[in-house]
Amino acid sequence: MTFITSHPFIEMVRKIERTGQHTIEEEYELELYEDSIRSTYQHYRLNDVFDVSYRFTTGNYGFLYLHTNRGVISFMIKEDPRSFVEEYKKLI
C-alpha cells in the first residue's frame, strides 16, 4: 500500500453557543494509495471507485466527487484537485 498523493477537503461544522451560531471550517486530507482512497472516516478500494471528478461552484468552493459502487461521495474543496484526479487516472 504505497502512498501516492493527497488533496485537502473541508467540512463545515456549525456550533451553537450562547453568543449565537458559529460556522467553523475543519480541514482534512483525502489520500490516494495504489489500492485505495482514504478520508478521515472512510476507506474506498480502487476496485469500488468508478471515476473521480470535480466541479467548482460560485465562490471559492467546489466539490470533488468519488463515483463508487455505494453511490457518489462528495468532498467540499477550495483548491484545484486536477493533480489528484490525474494521479487517480494513471492508476486505472
59 pLDDT more than 90: no
Average pLDDT for 8-17: 92
Residue 66 has what pLDDT? 97
Residue 1, number of CB atoms within 10 A of its CB: 7
Which CATH number is 58's domain given?
Answer: 2.30.29.30
58 pLDDT more than 80: no
Residue 46 in grid coordinates: 480502487
**What confidence category does residue 17 fall into, taking pLDDT thresholds of 50, 70 and 90?**
confident
Q: Looking at the 3D structure of the chain, how many domains does it have?
A: 1
Full domain range(s) for residue 40: 3-91
What string of H, E and C letters represents the secondary structure of the chain? CCEEEEEEEEEEEEEEECCEEEEEEEEEEEEEECCEEECCCCEEEHHHEEEEEEEECCCCCEEEEEEECCEEEEEEECCCCHHHHHHHHHHC
